[in-house]
Amino acid sequence: MERTLRKAPPEVREMFADMVPGFYQSEVMQRDEAVRSVGLSGMTLMLLVKDMGYDSCPLIGFDPQQVADIVCLPPDHLPLMMLTIGKALEPARPRMGLLDLEEFVSIDRFGNHPLRGEIDDSY
Ligand SMILES: Cc1cc2nc3c(=O)[nH]c(=O)nc-3n(C[C@H](O)[C@H](O)[C@H](O)COP(=O)(O)O)c2cc1C
């Protein structure tokens, strides 16, 4: 935390110094945060490289220990996802069997699908 906040104004550093250690005490919370951050930064990177004229592909089908060894990953870093970046040799396959937006977007509570006209106001 000291490293990531070193450029923050003193009042911000003070606020986080009180909050963060308690908030991230549990290893589950630490891991959840790592997974969230990887998802957000991975997607951002994919969009960024697309904008730069490249293609990308996320994958988890690798041996995490071997990859960690190859890239000398410190033991407190999790090899959660790999992202290949390059030029596609051929166009992506057509989408297959994915859900329509209306099916998986819930608003206000799970199962409330106003995008397809199902508004359950029985609660
Ligand atoms: C988080 C994540 C991990 C993935 N891991 C693999 C993988 O290990 N091996 C694989 O063949 N595809 C994997 N995929 C799927 C491919 O990245 C890709 O999405 C899939 O080949 C379909 O490509 P398309 O979306 O361009 O049609 C993964 C996808 C995601 C989102």
For the beta carbon of residue 52, count every other beta carbon within 10 angstroms.
8
- The total domain count for the chain is 2
pLDDT score, position 119: 79
Q: Up-side HSE of residue 47: CA atoms within 13 Å toward CB?
A: 6
* Secondary structure class of 116 (helix, strand, coil): helix
CA 40 from chain center: how many Å?
3
| Residue 37 or residue 96, greater confidence | 37
CATH of residue 38's domain is: 3.40.109.10
**Which residue shows structure tokens 């908030």?**
23
Whether 55 and 80 map to the same domain: the answer is yes
Cβ proximity of 60 and 81 under 8 Å: yes
The span from the CA of 68 to the CA of 66, in Å, is 5
pLDDT score, position 89: 95
Percentage of the chain with pLDDT > 70?
A: 98
CA of 58 to the centre of ligand 1 (A): 5
The contacts of residue 106 (CB under 8 Å, 6+ apart) are 112, 113
Residue 1 lies in a domain: no
Whether 98 and 38 map to the same domain: the answer is no
Residue 21 lies in a domain: yes
pLDDT score, position 17: 87
CA 41 from chain center: how many Å?
6
Task: Name the residue of 36, 46, 57 whose CB sits within 8 Å of the most ligand 1 atoms, as the mutation to test its pocket.
Answer: 57
Q: What is the pTM of this model?
A: 0.82
Q: Any residues with Cβ below 6 Å from ligand 1, and which?
A: 57-61, 81, 92-93
pLDDT tens per residue, range 30-81: 999 999 999 999 999 999 999 999 999 999 999 999 999 999 999 989 999 9
Whether 61 and 14 map to the same domain: the answer is yes
Domain range enclosing 113:
93-123
pLDDT score, position 40: 98
Task: Name the residue of 59, 63, 80, 99 whose CB sits within 8 Å of the most ligand 1 atoms, as the mutation to test its pocket.
Answer: 59
